[in-house]
Amino acid sequence: MTNTQDIIITEVALRDGSHAIAHQYTVDHVLKVAKALNDAGVPYIEVSHGDGLSGSSLQFGLSRTNEMELIEAAASVSDHSKVAVLLLPGIGTIKDLKEAAQHGAKMARIATHVTEADVASQHIAAAKELGMETVGFLMMSHMVEVDKLVGQAKLMESYGADTVYVVDSAGALLPNQVSERIRTLKQHIGINIGFHGHNNLSLAMANSLVAIEEGATRIDGSVRCLGAGAGNTQTEVLVSVLDRMGIQTGIDVYKMMDLAEEIVAPILQTPQEITRDSLVLGYAGVYSSFALHAKRAATKFGIDSREILLELGRRKVIGGQEDMIIDVAAEIAKRKVLTK
């Protein structure tokens, strides 16, 4: 790699990281974090509810602050960084996308389950009409064989996506599986390839590096590992490692270290780490944002949250089916009563 910017990083702490603080970001939080990220030279900053535009709900968790205010706040202090938003069709709408663009969003990341790329066509087209850069975000990419993943990525490309992402929503992929997926996509599609990792098996950094080795040029990171489950690839560490490897990101390493320590760390209610719940997410292959929901259900029914997460994994429950967590917990509790 010889370009001045070999790898383009999207910072997701102000979106994925929202899960870690129960969607309690304030305008002041976003202003401080986004300004520091901009000053450090981060190319893209993703801002929205953890489950994307219009995710604020009883099912997914209520936001403390209207996400459009947060998007506008980030855009107001970003003269270098571009603001990105996540949208899950069926949760967010084209109307939400238009409003986000009006408030300063420049990139739309359209996220679907890895077998449902076809639901993204209208949203990608709408984002292109708005002049936004577009990303096809294939969530839970561990759940399908590589040939199926390629087919879904080709659909995203055909709809006009500028980039397609392998998204390890459960933090379940092993390095050899990431390698195979990125390498095969590189052989079959002509657009940028990205990778979004979760650290539930302590593999987010390793998987990100493997993705880069195989040709991915877009990588997601989160300052202080702030994200659902055990968090994402830790941006300040990733930038430091890539700098050691001679791979350019255009990001100031020291400024990333400082903002992680001085601005983001105080926001965290508890340190982001691999707990038994987040470990089970990766072990069972379950959507990372399920951890908090499963923990609450376990407390309500007096059972072990690991039992809930493992059963969700067996049933192949996906993002958007959070309502099933309570049902599964109730069934497990009922079985325990009947077997006493």
Catalytic residue numbers read: 19
| Token pair of 125 as six digits | 């087209």
- The dihedral of CA 306, 311, 315, 318: what is its sign? negative
Structure token pair of residue 291: 């951890």
Coil vs helix vs strand at 222: strand
* Tokens describing residue 287: 């959507």
At 105 the three-state DSSP class reads strand
* Three-class secondary structure of residue 101 per DSSP: helix
Q: Quick one: CA dihedral 324, 328, 334, 335, positive or negative? A: positive
What beta strand segments (E) does the chain contain? Answer: 8-11, 44-46, 82-87, 105-113, 133-139, 163-167, 192-196, 218-221
Which DSSP state fits 212? H
Report the distance separating Cα 123 and Cα 184, nearest Å. Answer: 26
For 317, the 3-state DSSP assignment is coil
Identify any residues that bridge with 85 across adjacent strands, giving them in sequence order: 108
Burial of 306 (0-12, 13-18, 19+ CB in 10 A): middle
